[in-house]
Amino acid sequence: MRLTLNISPCPNDTFMFEALINGRIDTRGYEFDVTFVDIEELNGRVMGGVTDVTFGGRRGFDGGPDVSKVSYAVLPEIAERYRLLDSGSALGHGNGPVLVARRGFGRESDFIVSSDFRVAIPGIHTTANMLLQKLFPQLTDRRPMLFSDIAPAIAKGDVDMGVLIHEGRFTYLDHGLELVADLGVRWDQAMGGLPLPLGAIVASRSLPPEVVRDVEEMIRESVEYGFANPAASREFIKSHAQEMDDEVIDNHILLFVNDNSLSLGADARRAVLALTGVK
């Protein structure tokens, strides 16, 4: 059976899915048509797949992938069409997207009451934008752009601040930027230590339950393989990454691929409910 799989090119996704994509684990006869796109495009592809069609002997959604990475922020909008998988998630533990500005721009206390600042975000439907809205609701001039373009845009003065995700949270100093707030730390403080749900893996509800179970198990096995054989995926990760530095890649994986990526667990599910309202 062929399934469409959409994930991002960021290191946590390519690390988790490398063994599945490259056949290092038993794929149970499934074949995957894989597409790598930015997180906001991933969100859009899933949110836009609303036209019911028939193909391949089963029901699906025109334009919607079978399995996809999405931001947790979109779960409420897609819950009728996609189900959250127990494996493959990226959650932060006391860390998350970072709000940054040019070095010397000002202290947080100088701007937290202002709505005049132009803030770049990695997409309207991202968890990063949802967090910014929750934690800094006064920052209303939010401008979506490709995540990898945000740090250069701040450095050039095209925007005043920006929210960085993926490798950008580790390299902003190289652009002459400084930290304003780690939104994951703010979440941790507000939620009593619950992990921050960032990226989810979802499967179309058009898929038979046994197929969804197989996919969930294969993703878990792929993550386990990655943990046991960390060097095996490095070339694959670098072929898709924005940042090639091994230390940056290692830090990215270390922060966002963890036990919750194998199985969400009770605390993570409580966090998902708190953030999205979806069980």
Q: Which residues are catalytic?
A: 166
In angstroms, what CA-CA distances link 209 with 5, 186, 213, 252?
17, 37, 6, 32
Q: Can you spell out the DSSP letters for the chain?
A: -EEEEEE-SSHHHHHHHHHHHTTSS--TT-EEEEEE--HHHHHHHHHT--EEEEETTEEEEET--SEEEEEGGGHHHHTTTEEE-SSS-EEESS---EEEEETTS--HHHHTT-----EEES-TTSHHHHHHHHH-TT---EEE--GGGHHHHHHHTSSSEEEE-TTHHHHGGGGTEEEEEEHHHHHHHHTTT--EEEEEEEEETTS-HHHHHHHHHHHHHHHHHHHH-GGGGHHHHHHH-S---HHHHHHHHHHH-SHHHH--HHHHHHHHHHHHS--
Single-letter amino acid, residue 118:
R
Residues 241, 167 contacting (CB under 8 angstroms): yes
